[in-house]
Structure 1
Amino acid sequence: MPRIIASLIGAAFIFVLALALFGTAKTAIEDPAKETAEQVFHLHPEDIHLSSNGFFGKYDNRQLQRGFQVYKEVCSACHSLKFVSFRDLTKIGYSEPEVKAIANQWVIEQPTVNPDTGEASTRKNVPSDRFPSPFANEVAARAANNNALPPDLSLMAKARHDGSNYIHALLTGYRPQPAALLKEFPDAKTPKGLHYNPYFANLNIAMPPPLTSDGQVTYSDGTKATKDQMARDVAAFLTWTAEPNLNTRHGAGLAAALFLIAFCFLAWGAYQNVWRDVKH
């Protein structure tokens, strides 16, 4: 008897689930959910073909240095690089004296405490320091950015899908809100204080366009600093900050692949040698 009751309860439970599934499927077919403005007008970034892409990809140090210059002169006013040290710049071609000069001349100094008075103070940066935040705390950051918190950029290329391409697309994607969007979605007008960017998840971003004109940065290597070039360079630099050991990893992967190929031939030769006198 208990088994019969348990079977009936189980059958009833399955019936209710099947009925709910049928109702959900019927509703989805007869009255499908309307597409949102984000689904219709959101754009996906194009591939900018960085030199670091692919199995054999390697960083272009000249491009990384240009990207660092864009970060220093444009992005660092709002965004931090809390996982990157000044001395890490030696990996992209800067000499130790250059790194010391960059750290010492960095606009934002390191917070510290005066050993004599115990009061909050600051000191010059040294190569072992990480890049300091432009704001004292989160409250100050929000107050200076219309209550939006500028994200740290150290791992941004890994934190976003298709990160390198996304960063480039976002920086170059600012534009007026299309009339077709407002015609189809009248309530989707960009709120005051936000900026329309079809590459951003909800189409409206709090960050004003950081790259406003060609020549905003004067590259030390003479490269023409168009908005597209600056966006490409800083995207490459932030790809490096997110994965600084990519060159080493690719080199180790290639060496491992060559070793496995050689090992396969050696194993085949050993097999032939061991079993050469065995008659089949």
Structure 2
Amino acid sequence: MVRIIGILAGLFFAVAALWAFANGAYNVASQGYLKEKTAESEFHLSPRPFNQASDDLVAHWDKQQLQRGYQVYKEVCSACHSLRHVAFRDLEQLGYTEAQVKAIAATWQVPGIDPNTGEATTVPGKPTDYFPLVYPNDVAARAANNNAIPPDLSLITKAREEGPAYVHSLLTGYRDIATFSVDGKHVNDEFPDFSTPPGLHFNPYFANLNIAMPPPLTSEGQVTYADGTPATIEQMSSDVAAFLTWTAEPSLPKRKQTGWPVVLFVLFGTILAYLAKQQIWARAKKKA
């Protein structure tokens, strides 16, 4: 009886393993690895390298850059994209004083209640308020953006692979499909049926190459930086990408800095263990 149960159990696990293998093979095929080449698979580009202060060995925030990034967000991005997970008081981490944060918050209109009528209205923001939503719901967002919903940017660099680099590349990556090429190959020469529909814009850093968002950074000097930094498209893109890295994980440098003591502790423990092992076996060898 025990032998029969063992055989059945073995058969069960064998079938399960075969099913897992078949399912994996099917997923590989269905995800396009075995399909014919497409314009998206051939001309979609990986994000360009993007380095910032929080990537250094001694990670830290470049507060001047984060302030410039906030300025780009407010003057360019906030027309369509929200930051619903960020409170105005969080901006103190960027180097703003309490009075400056209070003044910044007051320049935004947030949902409130009219004290005289009790009706919903908008009021100047306070430091404890969160950045307001741009659109009240998805229907309104679609109606205003060619049926596309602008994503909230609070966690965008966490939600996208190579997040900061992706944001930076996307903002500077708009191209003319008629002249765009990779390794000398043009999109329309390789895929004559591929096109950019009306209302969309060609961007090889976007997954399907066509994106509903028009180029947000269109000219140098589009933003006048308070610190006098020249506002080139590359600079504005880098600054807002760094700012969105901060919104997604304000404690990023602290987390990285914590890793160094942990690594040193593990290394120290490893050395102690090795020396202890040498000492113990040395005594054993002498006795032998």
Partner Cα distance (2:279, 2:198) in 1? 79
Q: Which of residues 241, 251, 256 in structure 1 aligns to 2:257? A: 251
User: Given the two structures, how large is their TM-score scaled by the length of structure 2?
Assistant: 0.79
1:53 aligns with 2:55: yes
Partner Cα distance (1:148, 1:73) in 2? 21
Match for 1:77: what amino acid? A
Partner Cα distance (2:145, 2:35) in 1? 35
- Percent of aligned pairs with the same amino acid: 56
Q: In angstroms, what is the RMSD of aligned CA positions?
A: 3.1
Partner Cα distance (1:260, 1:181) in 2? 51
Partner Cα distance (1:49, 1:120) in 2? 44
What is the CA distance between 1:143 and its match in structure 2?
Answer: 1.4
The Cα offsets for residues 18-49 of structure 1, whole Å up to 9 and x where unpaired, read as xxx8xx99xx9xxx632101011111111122
Partner Cα distance (1:273, 1:193) in 2? 74
Match for 1:143: what amino acid? A
The count of residues paired between Structure 1 and Structure 2 equals 257
What is the CA distance between 1:233 and its match in structure 2?
Answer: 0.6
What is the CA distance between 1:271 and its match in structure 2?
Answer: 8.1
Alignment of 1:236-247 (within 5 A): 236-247=242-253
Query: Structure 2 regions of 5+ residues with no counterpart?
Result: 180-185
The Cα offsets for residues 106-144 of structure 1, whole Å up to 9 and x where unpaired, read as 2xx111233443322111111111111122222222211
Partner Cα distance (1:48, 1:264) in 2? 35
Q: Secondary structure at the match of 1:186?
A: coil
User: Given the two structures, how large is their TM-score scaled by the length of structure 1?
Assistant: 0.82
Partner Cα distance (2:251, 2:107) in 1? 27
Partner Cα distance (1:163, 1:58) in 2? 18
Closer, same or farther in 2 for the Cα pair 1:124/1:266, shift >3 Å? same
Partner Cα distance (1:68, 1:228) in 2? 15
What is the CA distance between 1:194 and its match in structure 2?
Answer: 0.3
The Cα offsets for residues 29-80 of structure 1, whole Å up to 9 and x where unpaired, read as xxx6321010111111111222212553322111111111100110011100
Residue matched to 1:211: 217
Closer, same or farther in 2 for the Cα pair 1:272/1:188, shift >3 Å? closer
Partner Cα distance (2:73, 2:212) in 1? 19
Residue matched to 2:183: none
Closer, same or farther in 2 for the Cα pair 1:82/1:273, shift >3 Å? same
> Which deviates more, 135-144 or 91-100?
135-144
Partner Cα distance (2:128, 2:85) in 1? 12
> Which deviates more, 267-276 or 227-236?
267-276
Residue matched to 1:97: 99
Partner Cα distance (2:279, 2:265) in 1? 21
What is the CA distance between 1:264 and its match in structure 2?
Answer: 5.1
